[in-house]
Amino acid sequence: MSTPIKIDIWSDIACPWCYIGKRHFEAGVAALGDDAPEIEVEYHSFELAPDTPVDFEGSEIDFLAKHKGMPAERVQQMLQQVTGVAANAGLDYDFDALQHTKTLKAHELLHFAKSEGRQLELAERLFKAYFTEGRHVGRVDELVALAADAGLDADAAREALESGRFADAVQADIAQAGAYGINGVPFFVIDGKYGVSGAQPAEVFGQVLTQVAGERDGAVA
């Protein structure tokens, strides 16, 4: 029996294209049907905006317009475009409800979830909470509730967050991204060999997986 194809994904919960890319990747795998190779997915931390406060008072438009000096009309236009692409991927983004925050603790929770074998469930829960439900993913209490939603023990999740014992793992992921030359996310590493940057269309992911599976078969033959 062959080992699963490893998919390492660098992403940030606050990255709209990471959630869209996640859906595209999943669609790419699903489109292969019975021909889909066995895969193992692992999420890695990438903090897009380390200087973001945990409690930012204002909307996403406020953040980009006031803190980044972008024209409000331009921000509105961009958010509408992202919302449209997300909708095409089956995601109901709500930027009016979105609560902009620092995602460091969310990344720590993702590492805790990995140690418990529920990282994929939590990644989906956090993305959904942030982009479609307007939940605050920077506060410990909210993260604990989301962890429980993902099937994790709430008390253990709280301990993991309050102790900060996964902080080093988060920084290690970020450092690894830097060593790999990863400047933007989402970034997918397929089988430790191929790099896929961005929210690529589903068929791109399907084609890469098919290629990798074929290479493996060729190596075995």
Partner 1 sequence: MTAAEGSTAVTTTDASAGAPAAEASASPFTMVTGAPGAMVCEGDVCFVPGAETAQ
Structure-block tokens of residue 142: 């909210």
CB 205, min distance to partner 1, A: 9
The conformation of residue 139, written as its DSSP 8-state character, comes to: S
Would you state the torsion angle of the CA atoms of residues 29, 35, 37, 42, taken in this order, to the nearest 10 degrees?
10
Residue with tokens 């920077």: 138
- Of 31, 5, 7, 19, the closest CA to residue 196 belongs to 7
On whether the CB atoms of residues 148 and 157 are closer than 8 A, the answer is: yes
| Residues in contact with partner 1 by the rule CB under 8 A | 12, 15-18, 20-21, 48-49, 51-52, 64, 68, 70-71, 74, 78-79, 81-82, 84-85, 88, 180-187, 189-190, 193-201, 203-204, 207-208, 211
**Minimum distance between the CB of residue 117 and partner 1, rounded to whole angstroms?**
27
* Distance of alpha carbon 130 from alpha carbon 115, whole angstroms: 23
Q: How far is the CB of 160 from partner 1 (least distance, A)?
A: 26
How far is 1 from 163, CA to CA, in rounded Å? 40
CB of 56 to partner 1, least distance (A): 11
On the 0-12 / 13-18 / 19+ scale of CB atoms within 10 A, 31 is middle
User: In terms of CB distance, is 13 or 143 closer to partner 1?
Assistant: 13
Q: Name the minimum Å distance from CB 85 to partner 1.
A: 5
Which residue, 2 or 81, is less far from partner 1 as judged by CB? 81
Under DSSP, the state recorded for 133 is S
